[in-house]
Amino acid sequence: MATSNPDLIKVCPAKCSGGYESEQRGLFQGQKDYMPEDILEMAKGVLQYCRYCHAVWEDRGGNKKLYGFLENGKFKRHKMIL
């Protein structure tokens, strides 16, 4: 049975069940190769990757922008409202 830890903070903007801070990291160079050029150009900071749900996102001063999901070398865009 899993125990609840109030010190764990979810940060993944995809709101996945395992999107805690410890599951987030920057994209590796090999992973960036699978990202569309327009997203790489649009990102103003470091693209983050959720190891739990494979979300690719960026934190722009506390405002999290979800770009999509990268899994097994395939990127699927998140439908954004512009």
**15-69 tens-digit pLDDT:** 999 999 999 999 999 999 999 999 999 998 899 999 999 999 999 888 999 999 9
Distance CA 11, CA 31 (A): 20
Residue (of 65, 58, 68, 82) closest to 36 by Cα position: 68
Both tokens of residue 36? 């569309």
Domain definitions of the chain by residue range? 21-77
3-state SS, residue 66: strand
Both tokens of residue 72? 């097994």
pLDDT at 3: 52
State the pTM of this model.
0.84
| Helices (H), ranges, the chain | 29-32, 37-42
